[in-house]
Amino acid sequence: MRLKIAQAGEPVLRQKARELSVEEITSAETQALIAHMRETMRDAPGVGLAAPQVGIPLQIAVIEDPEELLAAMPAEQLAERERRAVSFHVIVNPRIAPSGEKTVDFFEGCLSLAGFSAVVPRARKVRVECLDEQGRPQVIEASGWYARILQHEIDHLHGTLYIDRMRSRTFMSLDNFNRFWKGKSIGEIPGAAE
């Protein structure tokens, strides 16, 4: 079942989501929610979806950056973004910490801000401690685009949207991004080096 994706302005997107117990994670209700979130993310299409984005203030996110999405991108863009395929997985009750000082700027979009994009600075590497969809402890060490996805989705669990972190002069419609800036380096985007 495809779920309705909440849009900016809906209160659930600005709340801190509640943590889940292992019993809650493994319940039939939560497992069904995860399955519906996976279907909704893939249908959108997107590379991540947090429970608050479907109106449920719980600390759950689904993530997947499938090979099919990467196949259409030029090799130099994949290399610049350090973007590699990421298999489907679930993070619950995540704790995130940057690994190192380096940040990188790239455009981000969001299913809850449909039709817009902006340059967002993010840590290049992160370490995430979380539970998986069975309530088992996991440690994820991520870099590049995968680290960006994790940061974006974990922000959703704390009521933060990318527009709170963006370089505001780069905010634009996707139509204008595709018309004027797609394929350009970040350094060529006005306001990207604030």
Catalytic residue among 133, 153, 188, 194: 153
CA dist 72 and 143 (Å) reads: 21
Q: Which of 53, 65, 63, 56 is nearest to 156 (CA)?
A: 53
Radius of gyration of the chain (CA): 16
Q: What is the 3-state secondary structure (H, E, C) of 41-93?
A: HHHCCCCEEEHHHHCCCECEEEEEECHHHHHCCCHHHHHHHCCCCEEEEEEEE
Q: Where are the alpha helices (DSSP H) in the chain?
A: 22-25, 28-43, 67-71, 75-81, 144-156, 174-176
Classify the C-alpha dihedral 20-23-29-32 as positive or negative.
Answer: positive
Q: Reply yes or no on whether 68 is catalytic.
A: no
37 neighbors 48 (Cβ within 8 angstroms) = no
User: What does the alpha-carbon distance between residue 177 and residue 53 come to, in Å, rounded to a whole number?
Assistant: 24
Q: Which residues are catalytic?
A: 153
